[in-house]
């Protein structure tokens, strides 16, 4: 057995596993050999090795005036298998330092996650694509909603400062 024109490997039996293959197209040549030598010409077949999907490409987050953040993304490479859905981990740290983590999935048809926030919240979202082969690496983005100015008029106007 030879893979991608490489050196021949002896296989005893009817199957073998090539664990060092990377994702993509490969060709395999097989020659049956018995105790008298080669039997017949080589047979060649090709196939594609499947891998986990690549990381989605997060787009710049959109923060609405009411503090709602919309995270959206474009798919990365599929690794040769259909993307089933996107898994997310959302970690919110509020202005007092309390941390809340939420996990879930988002359908492929809706590549976006909408997150309500409060002033002072910091939200980190990690998105990963999932296929039948497995879960790929994630893409992360962090957004902080600023606290409002406690006294927007301080330091300006008549009588301000020294």
Q: What is the model's pLDDT at position 160? A: 53
Distance between the two ends of the chain, CA-based, in angstroms?
87
**Average model confidence (pLDDT) across the chain:** 86
Q: What is the model's pLDDT at position 26? A: 79
| Token pair belonging to 59 | 């787009």
The model's pLDDT over 148-161, given as tens digits with 9 standing for 90+, comes to 887 766 655 555 55
88-to-3, 18, 71, 141 alpha-carbon distances in Å = 38, 33, 11, 11
Regarding pTM above 0.75, the answer is: no
The DSSP call for residue 50 is: -
The model's pLDDT over 75-101, given as tens digits with 9 standing for 90+, comes to 999 998 999 999 999 999 999 999 999
């Amino acid at each position: 057995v030879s893979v991608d024109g490489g050196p021949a490997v002896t296989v005893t039996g009817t199957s073998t596993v090539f664990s060092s293959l990377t994702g993509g197209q490969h060709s395999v040549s097989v020659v049956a050999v018995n105790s008298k030598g080669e039997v017949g010409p080589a047979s060649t077949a090709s196939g594609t090795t499947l891998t986990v999907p690549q990381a989605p490409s997060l787009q710049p987050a959109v923060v609405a005036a009411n503090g709602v953040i919309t995270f959206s993304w474009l798919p990365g490479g599929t690794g040769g298998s259909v993307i089933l859905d996107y898994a997310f981990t959302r970690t919110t740290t509020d202005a007092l330092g309390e941390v809340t983590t939420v996990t879930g999935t988002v359908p492929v048809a809706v590549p976006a996650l909408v997150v309500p926030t409060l002033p002072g919240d910091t939200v980190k979202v990690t998105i990963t694509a999932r296929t039948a082969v497995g879960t790929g690496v994630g893409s992360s983005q962090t957004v902080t909603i600023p606290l409002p100015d406690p006294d927007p008029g301080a330091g300006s106007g008549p009588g301000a400062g020294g």
